[in-house]
């Protein structure tokens, strides 16, 4: 049996861990993100997430990456249910932002979650990977 090698010339290859940044959260700088092909959407670690009504509009406030002194606000968000890898469902907020990864900036949807007990503050899910034609090489950027 011969093994055929498939090539994907239009695809950028990411490792299992990548340095990322969020241009809209410039105060944070670069961090390491986990490329998670098992997760549908990505997740951003936040320790303070709350809604505040201003003039009849709901505004979402959050503080990313254990930085309670940083208060990011958005009026564009959704609330939905996310199922974790252990099967538990949790209500989370979804935001739209931009991520810099592999030298380019892309739009991304992320859920806001308290990931204090997790190893990685940022997960990049398969929907983002598929939409932007990324491939994952687990030997590149491995732990």
pLDDT per residue as tens digits for the range 111-134: 999 888 888 889 999 999 999 999
Output the CATH code of domain 14-133: 2.40.70.10
User: Does residue 52 surpass a pLDDT of 80?
Assistant: yes
- Name 44's bridge partners: 112, 122
pLDDT of residue 7: 63
pLDDT band per the 50, 70, 90 thresholds, residue 6: low
Q: Where are the domains of the chain?
A: 14-133
**Contact call for residues 118 and 39 (beta carbons, < 8 A):** no
DSSP 3-state of 39: coil
């Amino acid at each position: 049996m011969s093994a055929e090698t498939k090539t994907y010339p239009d695809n950028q290859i990411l490792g299992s861990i990548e340095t990322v940044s969020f241009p809209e959260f410039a105060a944070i700088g670069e961090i390491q993100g986990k490329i998670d092909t098992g997760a549908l959407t990505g997740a951003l670690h936040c320790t303070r997430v709350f809604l505040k009504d201003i003039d009849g509009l709901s505004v979402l406030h959050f503080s990313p990456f254990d930085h309670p002194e940083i208060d990011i606000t958005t009026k564009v968000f959704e609330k939905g249910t996310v199922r974790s890898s252990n099967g538990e469902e949790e209500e989370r907020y979804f935001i739209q932002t931009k991520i810099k990864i592999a030298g380019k900036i892309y739009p991304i949807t992320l859920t806001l979650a308290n990931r204090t007990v997790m190893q990685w503050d940022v997960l990049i899910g398969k929907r983002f990977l598929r939409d932007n034609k990324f491939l994952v090489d687990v030997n590149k950027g491995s732990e």
